[in-house]
Amino acid sequence: MAAPKSADAPAPTAAPSDSSAERRQRRQRRQWRPWESWGSAAARRRRANTLWAAFFLAPTAIGLGVFYLWPVVQTFYFSFTAWGPFGGHTWTGLANYRRLAHDSELHQALGNTLWYCLYGLLGIPVSLVVAVLLSRPGRKGVSVYRTLMFLPVVTMPVAVAMVWRWLYNGDYGIINYLLGKIGIHSRYWIDDPHTALVAVALVAIWTTVGYNLIILMAGLQSIPRHYYEAAALDGAGPVRQFFSLTLPLLSPTLFFVSVLSVISSLQSFDLVYAVIGKTNPALPQARSVVFLFYQDAFVNNDRGYAAAMAFLLLIVVAAVTGLQFRLQKRWVHYV
């Protein structure tokens, strides 16, 4: 039975309601006042870090903008113009790009460039085999072999081309001399339209093997040795270890090398210019897109058309590189 309420007990009071003035004061207290936090120690530290970051990034950012981004913008603009023999340009719209679509010389040069790209990829297996052989435990003289194979990378392309022109010479070249010893008739390797492209591609492979070798050996050294020891205990031989361990674990390095090789092959010019020359009868079957760009821009002074050609090559490089990044998901294994 409930106890009776006392008459003297105070009546329950309702909770005080917030007035609009009090709510407005609480909102004002919660508001951020930048003039109050501007002078705080944390804010000063953030501003100092931002200024130092901008200071250190400025040289690289300015260099990229001046020497890379701005030339790309200029090239894109000039690709819509026509240049006169004494300078000056006029806007022509898409005329240069329509000309690209019907230029048979460009189509052949683009095909030659793609062949250079495919031949350049053949140098990666050669570099991989040499890197695996030099990375075997107990191998002596690795630094000497590595230095000798890297010398073509730091040698001037013109010097390399002069040596290989002598080797390829159809009259007294050492290649024909050695082939004659086994009964193969001599031929003019760099003057024959059927062999000129392959001859230049072999020189390009020879000059890039050393660079790929350094990168692949670094990738091989990053693979833990206990993987191979465990595989040997399971009965895996050298061949099985190469295909089951080395290739999967080295796939990120191989992908990096393949991207660099493709981009370098698509931009090939110096070896083509130095080995083949400008008066070679096999030049149409061996010149690249960059070689054709050089002729139109600096020999024929058709800079607007050359700019359109350069921008087309940029699109090709970006498309091929994007395709490589798309396909790498199927064969590259990141640990």
pLDDT tens, 223-234? 888 888 898 898
User: Can you give the pLDDT at residue 1?
Assistant: 44
Rounded average pLDDT over 166-184? 88
Residue 187 phi/psi, 5° resolution? -150, 165
Residue pair 135/253 in contact by the 8 Å Cβ criterion: no
More confident site: 3 or 165 = 165
- pLDDT at 21 exceeding the cut of 80: no
Q: Return the structure tokens found at 68.
A: 């890379």
Between CA 288 and CA 267 the distance in angstroms is: 8
Output DSSP code: residue 2.
P
Q: Return the structure tokens found at 89.
A: 């340009």
Residue pair 293/313 in contact by the 8 Å Cβ criterion: yes
Rounded average pLDDT over 179-207? 90
The packing angle between helices 142-154 and 196-221, to 10°, is 140
Q: What is the pTM of this model?
A: 0.79
Between CA 128 and CA 126 the distance in angstroms is: 5
* Backbone φ/ψ region at 87: left (φ over 0), alpha (ψ -120 to 50), beta: left
User: Can you give the pLDDT at residue 6?
Assistant: 46
Mean pLDDT of the chain: 86
More confident site: 39 or 283 = 283
